[in-house]
Amino acid sequence: MTQPVSSAQQSGPDKGAAPAPVAEPRKKDGPSRTFGLRADVRNLSLLGVLAVLVAVGGFTEPDAFLDTGNLQLILTQSSVIGVVTVGMTFVITSGGIDLSVGAMVALASVWATTLATQEYGFAGILFTAVIVGLGAGLVNGVLIAYGRMVPFIATLAMLASARGLALQITDGKTQIVTVKSVLDLGLPDSYVLGIPPLVMMFAAVTVIGWLVLNRTTFGRRTVAVGGNAEAARLAGIDVRRQRLCLYLLSGLCCGIAAFMLIILSGSGQNTNGNLYELDAIAAAIIGGTLLSGGRGTIVGSVLGVLVFTTITNIFALNNLQSDVQQIAKGAIIVAAVLVQRRTSAHGET
């Protein structure tokens, strides 16, 4: 082959020794190093917050807070919202938003606990919860990906309709679960090495979510769509199908969360999952997922959930009212976002 000749052309792809081409490498403050570290730093700072909270809890209420039962409680309470947050993290990473998660949890939990469903026992409840979640997610996804609706609006509509449907199904009544195999999962007898099954389910969803986001083509496409949808499209990615799948995924997580909530409460209620959307979004954001899309972290989201649940727990142990909790939550969101600005200070977007 004839090698074309040019003043600036290097002789071949051999590394190292060759003098740099005319294009100077830009001098920036060590970009390649900060790039890898940035996510870690953020997670570390959140871990620090969690450590401080544990210390505060340990000092103020040493007996009650550090009690095994209480720690189990914190983790259990984190589990349901945690699963929802994993799904939410994917959606936000893709540049979207899902406001309907709380309503989907409510709808799935009541549909899965009707008398008719309960006749099918454990499998019937689990299956129904998951299918209802997926169905609602499918509607969201189709409206957004193919109906070109803004995610905020489409999922806001789903929020309203799903809650309404949940109310219609229950007529405002609490549906008590009588299926023993389901209820048993919430009892201490079912704990393995002191770990409640709900926490194990949360852990499993977290690990799978992390792997999917970081190690699979699905995760890569999610990040690409969120980072630059037009570039993703021109790179040959099916952006619409990806969006559809993401809202399906969020629905699936809500279905699983609904099942977990049924175990936890032993019932299905149309008021379940109230304001989950806000908690999940807040946890993802303080975890370090960019609301504008293009960057997401499952670990950060889970830490975010744990921080919020721990605060709630400490406040409850100290007999502080929930209004104070809410104020503290708001302050933490603001502080976390400000810290992120510092650690990822690079101007753009």
**Contact footprint for other proteins (CB under 8 A):** 1-10, 13, 15-16, 18, 20-26, 28, 31-32, 35-36, 215-218, 220-221, 223-224, 227-228, 230-238, 294-295, 348
Query: Which of residues 42 and 221 has its CB atom nearest to other proteins in the complex?
Result: 221
Shortest separation between residue 168's beta carbon and other proteins, angstroms: 38
Question: How far lies 70's CA from each of 46, 66, 76, in Å?
Answer: 21, 7, 10
Query: Which of residues 20 and 192 has its CB atom nearest to other proteins in the complex?
Result: 20
175, β-bridge pairs: 268
Shortest separation between residue 284's beta carbon and other proteins, angstroms: 16
Query: Which of residues 31 and 69 has its CB atom nearest to other proteins in the complex?
Result: 31
Query: Which of residues 19 and 188 has its CB atom nearest to other proteins in the complex?
Result: 19
How far is residue 201's CA from residue 257's CA, in Å, rounded to a whole number?
Answer: 9
> Coil, strand or helix: which one is 195?
strand
How far is residue 205's CA from residue 249's CA, in Å, rounded to a whole number?
Answer: 12
Side chain identity, residue 197:
P
How far is residue 70's CA from residue 53's CA, in Å, rounded to a whole number?
Answer: 14
How far is residue 144's CA from residue 147's CA, in Å, rounded to a whole number?
Answer: 5
Shortest separation between residue 85's beta carbon and other proteins, angstroms: 21
Give the β-pairing of 267-268 and 175-176.
Answer: antiparallel
Query: In terms of Cα–Cα distance, which of 200, 251, 192 is closest to 76?
Result: 200
Shortest separation between residue 148's beta carbon and other proteins, angstroms: 16
Distance of CA 268 to the CA centre of its chain: 23
Query: Which of residues 203 and 220 has its CB atom nearest to other proteins in the complex?
Result: 220
How far is residue 135's CA from residue 108's CA, in Å, rounded to a whole number?
Answer: 10
Question: How far lies 197's CA from each of 108, 173, 188, 192, 257, in Å?
Answer: 20, 27, 9, 7, 13
Query: Which of residues 76 and 289 has its CB atom nearest to other proteins in the complex?
Result: 289
Query: Which of residues 166 and 213 has its CB atom nearest to other proteins in the complex?
Result: 213
Shortest separation between residue 26's beta carbon and other proteins, angstroms: 6
Shortest separation between residue 291's beta carbon and other proteins, angstroms: 14
Shortest separation between residue 25's beta carbon and other proteins, angstroms: 5
How far is residue 276's CA from residue 244's CA, in Å, rounded to a whole number?
Answer: 21
